[in-house]
Structure 1
């Protein structure tokens, strides 16, 4: 699932935000060593945090139906994982980097979710929205300065892009046989069956 979100973001940057540009798109950690090896203008999309989106967790089970329209199995609802990306532009001049960041920001702001045409693999199969936010304030337990400190680099202008991607747990449960129609009452002397139909309730004696 993560690599499918990576590919969707790569295509969104190249085909939408920076259409017509031949900039490289990298997913490496933007450390000092990486920056020193870079030899072309680059947009870096670094995945720095993965955690469950608890606001989107659902309870209960989802039905799966067979060709006859009967419940064949039940499965747990998909869970949503928040993938947080640090998006930076790398060129020789800060002015060019700021221009790129502006184009990237406008490109991401066009969408509240990853466009379905960019989804592949399991994300395409689930056919669920993949919400996306950009440049929101970080949670209280995380600061971007801490991310840069962990990377061993200097603080750099960046965009925080968060994608909430659904993922199937893969846990399925076989459905039991369909319920029998009607209700049988055992009185000891005889067995009476109630048959419920579209035009009312009927009662008939079955056996003594």
Structure 2
């Protein structure tokens, strides 16, 4: 289970773990959630979730069947909805060169993937078994001024990597279906003439 709970917490944890293991494998750099504050004694990476929207391009209609191991339909559910979680990834360090080095390592690790690694997914994301896609260093939505978001933080304006993750979420539980008929039906034909 994620530390912060639910689909958003599961994405938080997977992204944080991906950065720790692949961008900063031997570093003691802290990776935290939230807007950056003031720099401390050691460098820190901040994952600031600044926007949550439905990924309308991935919305599907109808129902999806769930199957037992023998291939029998056991339930039907609506397809998952996909939510776009936009993160502002910043680094605070004493020297700009250190910030740039860490941002470069993070950028390389994230650009190497189109989705969060399945072995990092937990909870509902792991159960669904669907890809959790990731877009890195794309421009933010037109109606979001990231410079304003950063300027409003204690850290002020600084370089960042924009990361957008599209994750599935189930909005309602599956509905069980009746078991299949396994005995033949007897048809009466007498008196039908």
Name the TM-score class by shorter chain: 0.7 to 0.9
Q: Which of these two proteins has the greater Rg computed from alpha carbons?
A: 1
Aligned residues: 185
Query: Runs (4+) of structure 1 moved beyond 4 Å?
Result: 176-182
The corresponding residue for 1:107 is 109
For the residues of structure 2 that align with 1:159 and 1:39, how far apart are their CA atoms? 23
The corresponding residue for 2:189 is 206
- 1:96 pairs with one of 85, 88, 98: 98
The corresponding residue for 2:4 is none
Aligned positions of 1:47-66 closer than 5 A: 47-66=49-68
Deviation (angstroms), 1:103:
0.9
User: Which one scores higher on RCO, CA 8 angstroms, separation ≥ 6?
Assistant: 2
The corresponding residue for 2:14 is 8
Is 1:35 equivalent to 2:38 in the alignment? yes
Deviations 1:23-74, CA, capped at 9 Å, x for gaps:
01111222xxx316x3321011111111111111111101123465432221
Give unpaired runs (5+ residues) of structure 2.
1-6
The corresponding residue for 1:138 is 140
Q: Give the root-mean-square deviation of aligned CA atoms.
A: 2.5
Deviation (angstroms), 1:122:
1.2
- CA 1:113–1:68: 2 relative to 1, 3 Å: closer
Contact 2:85/2:164 (CA < 8 Å) preserved in 1? yes
Give unpaired runs (5+ residues) of structure 1.
183-192, 194-204
For the residues of structure 1 that align with 2:15 and 2:153, how far apart are their CA atoms? 22
Aligned positions of 1:140-159 closer than 5 A: 140-151=142-153, 153-159=155-161
Tell me the secondary structure at the aligned position of residue 146 of structure 1. Answer: helix
The corresponding residue for 1:122 is 124
Deviations 1:154-194, CA, capped at 9 Å, x for gaps:
21100001111111122333325658999xxxxxxxxxx7x
TM-score of the two chains, using structure 1 as the length reference: 0.79
